[in-house]
Structures are given as structure tokens and as C-alpha cells.
Amino acid sequence: MNRIRHQRLIDQVPALFVFLIVGAVLAGCASSAGARTASASPAHSPALAAGTPATARTFTSRHYGYSETLPPGWASAAQAKQQWDGKGAPGAEDSVVDLFRGPGGVEAWVYAAPTKENLAAYALRTVRVAGVVHSCPRVPQTNQAITISGTPARLLDTQCPARSGFLVELVVTIRHGIGFVIGSQNPSGTTPTDRPAFRKFLAGITFPG
């Protein structure tokens, strides 16, 4: 009797062994399929991201009211901490300017104050004061008529110090009795890409009203 039971157990071992192997194989297949599913799902993310429209990056000045739609490569570096009183010639690091940094190290800054002058007089006075404060020529190298946000403006090029090759560009415009000054320079030294980058920055400006 014991011999018969023992023989039955021996006969059942191969069947049990086969059952365990099949179970392990099926479990491995399920695990592999799950891994493939998990690894495949992120592959769809770039396609979804690529189809999502990029939102415009818009800066709005707290003190001066204008907005700037930042072009690629440009970013806001600082909001003005206080409003300009109309005196002197603020530079990029002054607390009364909105400061921006662009590609290749070029910078732009904006400040504004009420004025009763016309555009031509305001532009020339801006350059003269900058000449005193920053050792720039009191007469710009170029004085070009342009428009900013549909508003007449003057684009003034100068070198500070004089004949240094260090380009400083100033844009002056008047909107509803407020004189705006938009400056640009590259502290690391003027490069051929500075002018085009500044033109793209200017194209992003929108004045209130």
C-alpha cells in the first residue's frame, strides 16, 4: 500500500513541475508586457507637448504701464523699484529702470516720466544728459525716425565713451505726455547680433491706451 502511494507521488511530480514552469513563464510574459506598456506610454508625451501651443511671455511694467512680449532669448531681469523723477540719465543697473537681458549678453532697460517737450527736443535732451552722466558724446552718431507700438520715436546711436566702439542705443518716444526712454547695450562688448536682438525687443513693446 505504501509502495503504491509512493509510486503515485512520483508520477505526480513531473506534472506539478510542468505546472510550475508554465505558471512562471506566464507570469514572466505578463511582467514583460507590463514593462513594455509602462515604457511605451512616455513615448506619446513629446507628441502631445509638440501639439500644445506656446503661450506668449508678456511683461507688464508696474511703474510705467507698457507691456513687452518677450522675443525668444529675452527675459525680464528686474522690475523698477520706484518711478523715475525725470532727472538724470538712469543706466541699466539703476533702481528706476525695468531691466531685460537678451541673447549674447545684450541688455535693454526702460524708464519714463512726464514731459512737455516735443519728440525732437526730448530726444536731444536725453542724449545731452546721458553725455554728461555717462561720458557719452552729446551729439548722437545717428538719429533715425522709427515707430514703437504705432507711436513716432527716435532711434539714437552713440558710443560711450566716445570713439570706444562700445555701442549704446537709445529709443525715445512720447505717449500721452509721457516720455519713454528705451536703452540697450552689451556689457561684455558690442557684437554683430546686438542690433537685431534689440530690434526684436522693440517690436514687442505695447503702450497703454
Least confident of 55-59, 138-142, 150-154, 170-174: 55-59
- Percent residues over pLDDT 70 in the chain: 73
pLDDT of residue 209: 77
**AA letter at 93:** E
Q: Is the model more confident about 121 or about 51? A: 121
The beta strand positions in 46-96, using DSSP E, are: 58-60, 67-69, 75-78
171: nearest Cα among 191, 192, 198 = 198
Give per-residue pLDDT as tens, 5-48. 444 433 444 443 333 333 433 344 444 444 343 333 333 333 33
Instruction: Answer whether the bond into residue 161 is a cis peptide, omega within 30°.
Output: yes
Kindly give, in sequence order, each residue whose CB lies less than 8 Å from that of residue 195, ignoring residues fewer than 6 positions away.
167, 169
Task: Please indicate, yes or no, whether the overall pTM of this predicted structure exceeds 0.75.
Answer: no
Distance, in Å, from the CA atom of 156 to the CA atom of 111, rounded to the nearest integer, reads 16
Give per-residue pLDDT as tens, 157-175. 988 777 778 899 999 999 9
Give per-residue pLDDT as tens, 177-198. 999 999 999 999 999 999 999 9
